[in-house]
A = this chain, B = another copy of it.
Amino acid sequence: MAHARILETSVHFFGRLGFEGASTREIARASDVAMSSITYHFGGKEGLYLATADHIATQIRERTAPLLDRVAAAEINGRETAIELLLAVLDGIAEMMLSAETEYWACYIIREQQEPTEAFERLYQGAIRRVADTLIRLVAMARPDLDDRQGRVTAIMLFGQAMILRSSRTTVCRVLGTSDLDEADQALLRERLRANALTVLSEAP
């Protein structure tokens, strides 16, 4: 189906080049369809851009659902349980940030974070929101000594340690003296993230 093929290509082009930088001609050519098919299916360049955001949100939602469902279903009766779940969620996020297939999603989202358009709203409501809410809820239980705003910021900081793996990927590689992150590098990064998060979350109230 052309519809899906165009969307898949769009993630790459809009991610790599941004809305202004990507061209519908190129996207059409790479999808092996006529340019006017984009108009037919998505109404134009802007429609395609927004449909791409929905597509990305759906993929993230599907990918994170198993882990987030587990947290939602869990009975959390103590800091230890909350910490354990939080470490699992963070590790899942880190694994996602390290995974090759998220490269273009990430580019698209990071662009939207810098200069949000309507597409950001779709990403946020469609995927980011649930991840953020879960982290915030777990941090509140793991660190009952923090007030609401302090807890939210702590959730952000924990997330930042995973996000850096995508947002500054090239610098991460430079610092580790490699051209891309192999299995051992990835294990090291995830292990350290886990260790740091555990330390921060275990801080005595």
Contacts and interface: CB of A to CB of B under 8 A. Distances in A.
A171 B110 contact: no
Q: Which secondary structure dominates chain A's binding surface?
A: helix
A156 to B, nearest CB: 6
A53 interface: no
Contacts of A128: 171
Cβ-closest 7 pairs across A and B: A160-B164, A20-B21, A21-B21, A167-B167, A153-B192, A157-B161, A160-B160
Interface of A: 15-22, 103, 106-107, 110, 112-116, 120, 124, 128-129, 132, 136, 149-150, 152-157, 159-165, 167-172, 174-176, 188-189, 192-193, 196, 199-200, 203
27 contacts: A15-B114, A103-B114, A107-B115, A110-B167, A113-B167, A113-B170, A116-B170, A124-B170, A128-B171, A132-B175, A153-B176, A153-B189, A153-B192, A154-B196, A155-B175, A156-B175, A156-B189, A157-B192, A157-B196, A160-B160, A160-B162, A160-B164, A160-B168, A161-B161, A163-B168, A164-B164, A167-B167
